[in-house]
């Protein structure tokens, strides 16, 4: 994947995550920071950080339960360790951290 492809795919998935957060109705705030860093803050002040990592061409997620790297496989962003899809994993992480059902996908 070249830089142009990565940038387009990363921008699209970050926008999709933002739209999912907006529609979720969950008790959380989020903000897109410069450089493609999305900060999601929960009622207990904990955060999940989602960012693009251009050098590795991955989307990185930092949550209370750990760090995760996602690489695009031609169809979806997949966790480099267990193969789970980004939106499904992020939905589970956000729900766990929020203490309520957060539906992003």
Task: Note the pLDDT of residue 71.
Answer: 97
pLDDT at 1: 83
pLDDT tens, residue by residue, 63-75? 999 999 999 999 9
pLDDT of 105 strictly over 70: no
In a domain, 104, yes or no: no
CATH number at residue 91: 3.30.920.10
Task: Flag whether 17 is in a domain.
Answer: yes
Report yes or no on 103 lying in a domain: no
16-34 pLDDT, tens digit per residue, is 999 999 999 888 999 999 9
Residue 19 within any structural domain of the chain: yes
Q: Over range 91-98, report the average pLDDT.
A: 95
The domain containing residue 44 runs over which residues?
Answer: 3-98
How far is the C-alpha of 78 from the C-alpha of 61, rounded, in Å? 12
- What string of DSSP letters covers 31-88? EEETTTEEEEEETTS-EEEEEEETTTTEEEEEETTEEEEEEE-SSSEEETTT--BHHH
């Amino acid at each position: 994947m070249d830089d142009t492809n990565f940038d387009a795919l990363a921008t699209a998935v970050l926008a999709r995550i933002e739209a999912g957060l907006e529609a979720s109705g969950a008790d959380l705030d989020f903000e897109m920071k410069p450089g493609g860093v999305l900060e999601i803050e929960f009622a207990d002040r904990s955060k999940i950080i989602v960012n693009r990592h251009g050098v590795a061409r991955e989307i990185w997620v930092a949550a209370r339960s750990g760090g995760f790297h996602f690489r695009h496989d031609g169809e979806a962003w997949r966790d480099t360790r267990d193969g789970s899809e980004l939106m499904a994993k992020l939905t589970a992480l956000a729900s766990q951290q929020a203490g309520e059902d957060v539906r992003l996908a």
